[in-house]
Amino acid sequence: MLTANLDEANKILLKEKVLLITGDPGVGKTTLAEVILFEKAKAKYRIHIVNTIREAEDMISVNNKEKQIFYFDDFLGEVYYEIIAGSQKENEVAQFVNRIKNSPNKFLILSTRTVILEQAKSKSEKIKRSKIESGKYEIVLGKYTNFEKAKILYNHLYFQSLKEDLFNAIIEDSFFMYIIKHKNYTPRIIEFITQKERIQSFTKFEYTEFIKKHLTYPEEIWEDSYLNQIEYLDRCLLQTLFTFDKGISESLLRKAFENRLNFEKNINNKQISSEQFESSVRNLLHGFITSSITNIDENLKQFSFVNPSISDFLISYFNKNYSIKKATVQSIKYLEQFSIFNPDKDNFKFEIELQKIVKSNIQNDKYDSIGDYKKYKFIGQKMEILMKFCSEIDTDNSLLELLKDIEYKNIWWIRKELYFVMNQVNVNTKSFDYIEINFLKIMESYIEQIEDEELALSAKKLFKKYGHSFKDFSSNEIYQNKLISLVSKVTIEKEKSLVRFYGEDIENWDDYNTFVYDEIEVIKAKLSKSLLPKNISIDIPHHYGKEELEERILINKKERKKANHREQKAEQLYHDLTNTTIKEDKRIEDLFYRKK
């Protein structure tokens, strides 16, 4: 099935430049994406595996000749909480997608779980109407066809020699179809729900309820395997991998695990083998974790959980076992590992003792960071973690030292973290006093470097907090010119993003006026009213000239024609797939009813 999936996916990526792979957990989204990335790597494309839209924006090259392909796994998972809260993150997703579609030699692969996509579309009009789905490629048949899943179930039932009434519970009303087509189907779950010793005493009703429960809530299955089938240090590796949320490279996981092993050796007096990482990986592969090759020439691998429900189990397990959570937090190596504990997600309580550990480690410079731009982002990351994760303890001196280390020329890299800190820091603290004394210097650099509407409008709110008059600031000729430049820059960036966003919907000048011109005029007026004195009126020339826009309109018309053709093909594909599913269901029924 991979070959057929790969051929179709490559066709869509070539036409659309953006490929969206959706499907239920464990159907093979990651496998398909990685094969495509491998092919692109052979074609001299630079591969970027990213975890946030901001990270991707930092990496994309303005050089149109540079070949780049970005892979963002579970892309809506990263912004889902912000989308349902109504933030600007939905704009970032849609705008980056459209930037890729209009940049030569740039491609983007996105994957997400179907349920997350549908929820995001229901919450976000911009996600719903964006061009993301014009390149949609949903994996319908995953690693196992439904017939293959049926054979796995049938073989487990057959070899366990279940008593007849339990087997009848499976085939009555085609209950086996419910099992086979359940989103949480995995061979491990089938093994669990068919184990003779576990189910032999059940009645038919008890057995079907047992199956429904564990398919819907598989955490107990993982708990049984976690506690009884693997060793203590193997569990430590799972806990370390858990902190990386979406998976991580072998080299980074190894280094992070070394931190945990040192903790176990020094605190819990565990005997540690020099080959412990390799041993634990061997024990966990396929049952709990999966590995994939990211660079075949250099034998680079990435590790992740075989199923997202393992993360769900570990969230529950951590919350019931404080000592495990503490050991995991205490042995964190990379700041990125804190993402799983983000208080905005409301998955964990971050106790006072943990807050003190984090503060101490930041003070003693015990953390590292991942990424090519670490030296620019590191201070911002540490400030944000102090403010978010240590909110119930005194972090004033630690925060003050970080504020003093900021290089104003590099504020762009930490612009969002800096705003968060300035907005959240408490009055009557040394950090507040430092910002207050240096406020104009900070804001001058900040205003020079930000370029998005949300931060531009929010900047004004900081003045009152730090005892400065924004009216006086905006009336000063030097600062006023910087504000005019900011309004111009944000408006032009918005125009470019809107043209990318609406893409093939713009087929003439009327469409441009409807979708773009009217909106940027509203934005310009909004920014001017908020940031500039009433007597200042600015004229911002359009970024797109008439010839350039007419060329874009011609391209859009061609894209619309292609899109209509794709929709017709999709309807035929759906019809063919429906017929295939009907035939497959008949084969599955024959398999189970033949025993009866």
The total number of residues shown for the chain amounts to 596
Fold of 2-138: Rossmann fold (3.40.50)
Q: Can you tell me the distance from the alpha carbon of 187 to that of 190, in angstroms, rounded to the nearest whole number? A: 5
Predicted confidence band of residue 141 (pLDDT cuts 50, 70, 90):
very low
Give 206-235 pLDDT, tens digit per residue.
999 999 999 988 888 888 889 988 899 999
Write down the pLDDT at residue 299.
66
Write down the pLDDT at residue 247.
82
Write down the pLDDT at residue 572.
65
- CB-CB contact of 562 with 15 (8 Å): yes
Asked whether the predicted pLDDT for residue 145 surpasses 70, the reply is yes
The more confidently predicted of residues 192 and 114 is 192
Q: Can you tell me the distance from the alpha carbon of 509 to that of 515, in angstroms, rounded to the nearest whole number? A: 10
Cα radius of gyration (the chain): 27
Long-range contacts of 144-151 (CB under 8 A, 24+ apart): 145/1, 145/584, 146/180, 146/181, 146/581, 146/584, 146/585, 146/588, 147/584, 147/587, 147/588, 147/591, 149/180, 149/185, 150/176, 150/180, 150/587, 150/588, 150/591, 150/592, 151/591
Write down the pLDDT at residue 515.
80
Give 398-454 pLDDT, tens digit per residue.
999 999 999 999 999 999 999 999 999 998 899 999 999 999 999 999 999 998 888
Residue ranges per domain, the chain? 2-138
Write down the pLDDT at residue 137.
44
Mean pLDDT of 343-354: 92
Asked whether the predicted pLDDT for residue 172 surpasses 60, the reply is yes
Instruction: Return mean pLDDT, the chain.
Output: 84
SS3 294: strand
Look-up of token digits 């894209």: 559
Percent of the chain's residues with pLDDT above 90: 43
Mean pLDDT of 131-139: 48
